[in-house]
Amino acid sequence: MTLRTDALEASIYYDGGRRSLRITAADAATLNPFDGTAAASGNGHVLTGPLSTANALALQDAFEVLRPQLISGHRTSVGTGDRTGLATPGQARAFGESGAGVKPVLAQQSIREMDRLGRSARSVMDDAVFGLLEAGWDRGFGADCDHIKTSEGIDRGLEAGFRMFTLDPGDAVADVTAGVTRADAEALDWDALEDTLDAALARYTGTTLDLGARSLEVTEQDVLTAVVKYGAAVAEAMRLYRHATSNATDEIEIEFAVDETPWITSFFEHFYLATELRRLGATWSSFAPRYVDGFEKGVEFRGDVDALRANLEAHHAIAEQFGGYKISLHTGSDKFSIYPLCAEATDGLVHLKTSGTSWLCGLEVVAEHDPELFTRIWDISRASYVKARASYQVSAEEDRTPTSLAGVDLVELIRAEDSRQILHVGFGDSLGGTDASGVSVHDRVLDVIAAHQEQHSTLLAAHIGRHLAPFAAVAARV
């Protein structure tokens, strides 16, 4: 596919698994911003160059559609992370085929994943830009620098041109499962919150929380619990927020996320977080509470579907009271049974995040074309699962999966729940590993996928498309 301006035409050129950028222009000077080798050809000039940051930046200069956009103007949006840097074309195709009305966030990676994979925020952006060009995608995209916990992480995303910043104050969320006292609440840093405990108690105690279908009376104990559990997180979220908004040169949008904590966010706690963040001057476009249990990596929803519906409806009702922001669903992939209800319960005002599921599509390509490499990835993933399971919501049992893959149908293995989760959370260790001769698994994976990129894109278009269709159905109605 190609993208065109009046002055030039750009495409990604494949020579086997090797990719390069190709630019043609009538005027040789048009090629000056690009890196590569130029030659006269017919009536014009052709440049062949590397997929470098300089060339990604030159493309973004030339094509407005390759610069990330704000997504907050769109009710329904879906983010698709890309761990290999080769998934964007297939993901874009999925949005074209199945995602009408759903805004794509095609550059999305958490700081933690960037660090595990040794990728810079800019390399994530570069891969997205080249992938969009490969797909010929001209309908715009968002870019989400995900799960940021430090101001340094914000700086990285700003420098790379991200527009959406998911700020995660989760490390400051306190465990209140043993109960809280007034003394615990008094011990908070109230100056950081520009508040006092008495003022906070007066603000909420005895009020009625409207949850749409029902309402809740807020007790003093509710307030003390929320304050102790999330008070420091509010201060930390505002520190990150102020850093992001005061350093951004373009308009940016914010998501606040507390989903990666062990403790469910109650409705009043959501209301408290929104009220306090608003009081302190923040605006945001999406919010990710910690939901009811059941969201596990890479597999179907495992919780109570009716409880989830009631939960999302109430969170959505709270969001509406603050002007309407999106409820953000993380760890969102492969939960096909709940997408219709997620879209309906939020009236389409929802953002879904998927990430590792695209890696699993890439693994299907590797399994077919290089089973020996796949076996190495399986061995590393299975061995590392024991420690990985501590840091993810997963329930796979490695004992239920094979140690030897001789005679095993590899695609079935990738799709079966236990092994799928093991492969899903094993990406960091397996991509960071080496094969028997010391060659980087990461390099070999990229070579295999790039050599079969058309098949890879077709798999992704179908698989991501299944995620998008239920959201597109509701996006079209609202």
Rounded to 5°, angle at Cα 98 from 92 and 99 = 70
Query: How far is residue 217's CA from residue 210's CA, in Å, rounded to a whole number?
Result: 9
Query: How far is residue 475's CA from residue 352's CA, in Å, rounded to a whole number?
Result: 13
Q: Are 272 and 230 in contact (CB under 8 A)?
A: yes
- What is the helix (H) or strand (E) element at residue 345, kind and residue range? helix 339-345
Shortest Cβ 167–Zn ion spacing (Å): 12
Query: Which residues are paired to 327 by β-bridges?
Result: 287, 350
Query: How far is residue 456's CA from residue 342's CA, in Å, rounded to a whole number?
Result: 28
Residue 144 annotated in active site: no
Residue 320 annotated in active site: no
**Residue position matching structure tokens 């309407």:** 324
Which residue number has the CB closest to Zn ion? 330
Which residues contact Zn ion by CB under 5 A?
259, 330
| Residues with Cβ within 8 Å of residue 206, at least 6 apart in sequence | 217, 218
If the CB atoms of residues 270 and 330 are measured against Zn ion, the closer one turns out to be 330
If the CB atoms of residues 127 and 259 are measured against Zn ion, the closer one turns out to be 259
Question: Which of the residues 146, 253, 364, 429 is marked catalytic?
Answer: 146
Give the type of residue at 231: G
Residue 2 tokens read as 């190609």
Shortest Cβ 260–Zn ion spacing (Å): 5
If the CB atoms of residues 259 and 344 are measured against Zn ion, the closer one turns out to be 259
Using the CB atoms, write b or e for 262-276: b if 16+ within 10 Å.
eeebbbbbbbbbbbb
Query: How far is residue 112's CA from residue 122's CA, in Å, rounded to a whole number?
Result: 15
Shortest Cβ 292–Zn ion spacing (Å): 15
**Residue position matching structure tokens 């308009």:** 251
If the CB atoms of residues 380 and 394 are measured against Zn ion, the closer one turns out to be 394
Q: Are 377 and 130 in contact (CB under 8 A)?
A: no
If the CB atoms of residues 130 and 165 are measured against Zn ion, the closer one turns out to be 165
If the CB atoms of residues 240 and 405 are measured against Zn ion, the closer one turns out to be 240
If the CB atoms of residues 267 and 295 are measured against Zn ion, the closer one turns out to be 295
Shortest Cβ 393–Zn ion spacing (Å): 10
Shortest Cβ 286–Zn ion spacing (Å): 11
Sign of CA dihedral 358, 360, 365, 366: positive
Shortest Cβ 331–Zn ion spacing (Å): 6
* DSSP symbol at 292: S
* DSSP symbol at 326: E
Helices (H), 7-87: 53-62
Query: How far is residue 206's CA from residue 292's CA, in Å, rounded to a whole number?
Result: 26
Shortest Cβ 252–Zn ion spacing (Å): 19
Question: Which of the residues 113, 127, 236, 255 is marked catalytic?
Answer: 255
The catalytic residues are 146, 255
